[in-house]
Structure 1
């Protein structure tokens, strides 16, 4: 299709601002629609587009944030809530949550039953907001409560963990928000009981949520061991249980640990694996009796993970939830 310098400029500017683009005039809208019909563009919503090749480079969270920034540019008075607000606030939102495919707009008005494309309206009363990176969002404590009431425990624990880790809210303010709503907030209370700001990332939070839901005792997070052979060397473990003279460690391995150059410090996979083996030897010297490993795939289908924990003697605190 013939080049359109004006549309290309709009597209390039949007990519630099990490958002999608839209037409402001009838001519721009027609030109963008033609390119969408020619399969050059992806259309996320009426009059919201991006280039096909650019869209394919974005992960689910990036796609969600691009949509939020676009809508905030078009409708600056709108307030984002729930998982959209959590994303804007920089909290850990699981990629597998279907909510990332939509933008949650908070409103005090009545809500139609049908979904409006990628825009999902959620009822929030009273509607207040804070401004973060130029975008209006519900306050952190209300954002967490709405996430807990709309999404599962497994999807919400990472949001709560990251909020406490970042220090943007505390348990008391969350509890006070629940009290003001005059509704059943038991999902929030459950999360407040289990939340732990020591969790380092969303993967570890997801793993812990599965462990707790299965009825296992609450693990200690990020316990630090010192290598008896070299006291200057210390190692932190993701999860730790101590019981009946057993010291059980569970490590959550994300694939980034072996492929992301920022996490491997430029080392290849063989070097990283060797370093992990030396680390395990040091942990055993420090008294660890069992070192277990898991990953995202196993956590999402946790039967084998649960069996490993049982076989290693990890204690149960209650029946599975």
Structure 2
């Protein structure tokens, strides 16, 4: 099966360079009409110019595709709404949203200014939420939508010096989980991509041969799979250097200990059993945790185990 995007309209944020540019070019090459969004600022989010987005839009048009440029900041909800309206006015619909825009303000947590923490969360989390909110009614009305969040291994697993970035990136996965549930009846599939890619954000951090291996183009296939009409939903795909993995947020089987006075001591003594991963599950929703806890409690009661 060829992943074809003919007739689809896509918005890609942060698409003026790096990974976002590759996303935009790939979608356009496969037939999508692409609105290229980029504030045009520095890696830390300062400054701004529509020039970066315009250059990519021009590149797409020069190759025979259809593209528009937009310089909105994803932190500005009114500007994001106008961006979505721009795409709708030009092409009548929005089928795909790739939330790629982001900034870095790296420092160890001890040295981090809370304003830098807040700004990174504002761009990554609120930026994605703004874009999702702006396209949501259109996707509901047309009973179709594909939204790709950009999470990160830093959010999923942590990385020194990136508390703000990690918090914001795991939040994207959390947003994805609920939007996928709420969007299901409208044909809106929501997924997350955790890329490993050499971009402005990673420049100078890794050896040249590693940077060559993790070129942004190697991540793009995962985005195309998540943005296509055949896409899954509620999936976290990881991609880098030509390798693809899936990340799962799981729940162990659990252990019923009751509510007695000595339960803290019991839990401390048996914590390894609680954390045992054999038979863990990937819950269909957050309700699964409570259901599992109640199930074990009821089973204990039936067996005559006292609380």
Q: Please, what TM-score do these two structures have when normalized by structure 2?
A: 0.25
- Higher fraction of strand: 1
Q: Please say which structure displays the higher CA radius of gyration.
A: 1
Q: Please, what TM-score do these two structures have when normalized by structure 1?
A: 0.24
